[in-house]
Amino acid sequence: MPSIKDVAKLAGVSISTVSIILNGKAQERKISIDTQEKVASAIKTLKYQPNLSAKKLRCSSERKTIALFWTTDFRETMLARFLTGLHRQIKKMNLNYDIVVYTYQNDELYKETELQGSSSFHGAIIANASDKDLQFLNSFIPLIPIVLYNRKAKNYSGVIVDNEAIGKIAASLCLPFQKVGLVRAPYIFDGMKVRDEAFLSHVSKDTMIYDVNDQNVDDGFQVAQQIDFDKIEALFVPSDHIAYGIMHYCYLHHISIPDDLSLICVGNGLPQYANYSNPSLSVIEIPMEDMAADCLEILTRLFQHSHMIKKVVEPNLMMRDSFKMI
């Protein structure tokens, strides 16, 4: 069984340098990315396991612990959908995996030092990372297999939805209308900006833009108070929660959906409610369960020493009663 001394020798660095990297202190001790890459390469070549027994990790039939890092500001319904997708894939592939959920604050993934060094888990899926969190991930070379959900980073495998396609689908629906609006939420990651830019590049330059502070129902209700509904016929909204807030405002003020306003949104958390709202909500749905399954399949391939894998998934258009085609 290879030792830390063997890793240091192959990488051409000191044992203490290897130890610093394994303990997640590379960034703190200013160990260069080049040195981290050499150590990571040596670890992979030697199949060195710093914390868990090599026997346990080598044998795919042995039980593995998978960490799911989930931000605390994303809704519980989304986490439930994601876990459903993971457990379906575990059953489908007959995998001997345990899923452990670790919550972290947005922009504070850097506090999860186990991601940088020796870990109590065999692999990780990181969901909903902010741009600041992605900067942190790009600052070191991971020593365990890690897959990103709906985010992109240079050193990581991942599964993302085609955000440009979401914007184009929404634009194609709104294009026949003369009076179009966009509700814009804070860009917590680049994909949201890509989505909005794709939408705006395919609709009228006169499109009205309304900004919200967050993606909750209350934000939808509040932004609806800013909208002159005589000037808007079709509206693209960044989340189903915001859409429900707008729908409630319209109900209270006798604004008919879809006769007075056609509403289309990104569906990212509440598919079970979309059919039962009145009217039922039209969504461009992010296929979360399928993407969770893809994350786990990629992680399994990484355990088998596969190269980096990046997958782009198409969104699903679910037309219901809130949007009137013209």
Across residues 193-209, what is the average pLDDT? 95
Indicate if 237 and 208 belong to the same structural domain.
yes
- Residue 205 domain-assigned (yes or no): yes
Q: What is the mean pLDDT of the chain?
A: 87
- Report whether pLDDT(73) > 80: no
Indicate if 277 and 182 belong to the same structural domain.
yes
Beta strands (DSSP E) in 94-207 are 97-104, 123-127, 146-149, 157-161, 180-184
Domain of 207, CATH number, reads 3.40.50.2300
- Residue 101 domain-assigned (yes or no): yes
- Report whether pLDDT(310) > 50: yes
Indicate if 179 and 103 belong to the same structural domain.
no
- List Cβ<8 Å contacts ≥24 apart for 268-274: 268/78, 268/239, 268/240, 269/75, 269/77, 269/78, 269/81, 269/239, 269/240, 269/241, 270/77, 270/240, 270/241, 270/244, 271/81, 271/318, 273/240, 273/244, 274/240, 274/318, 274/320
Indicate if 173 and 202 belong to the same structural domain.
yes
CA distance 312 to 158: 9
- Report whether pLDDT(31) > 60: yes
- Residue 202 domain-assigned (yes or no): yes
Predicted local confidence at residue 117, as pLDDT: 65
Indicate if 270 and 218 belong to the same structural domain.
yes
Q: How confident is the model at residue 85 (pLDDT cuts 50, 70, 90)?
A: very high
- Residue 324 domain-assigned (yes or no): no
β partners of residue 284: 266, 317
- Residue 320 domain-assigned (yes or no): no
Across residues 106-131, what is the average pLDDT? 85
- Residue 323 domain-assigned (yes or no): no
Indicate if 207 and 274 belong to the same structural domain.
yes
Indicate if 156 and 297 belong to the same structural domain.
yes
Indicate if 4 and 150 belong to the same structural domain.
no
- Report whether pLDDT(69) > 70: yes
- Report whether pLDDT(74) > 70: no
Model pLDDT for residues 213-230, shown as the tens digit of each residue = 988 899 999 999 999 999
- Report whether pLDDT(26) > 80: no
CA distance 258 to 279: 8
Sheet holding 97-104, edge to edge: 97-104, 64-71, 123-127, 146-149, 157-161, 310-313
The tally of domains found in the chain comes to: 3
- Residue 322 domain-assigned (yes or no): no
CA distance 69 to 158: 14
Q: Dihedral angle at the C-alpha atoms of 181, 183, 186, 187, nearest 10 degrees?
A: -60
Across residues 46-63, what is the average pLDDT? 55
Owning domain of residue 96: 52-160+289-315
- Residue 9 domain-assigned (yes or no): yes
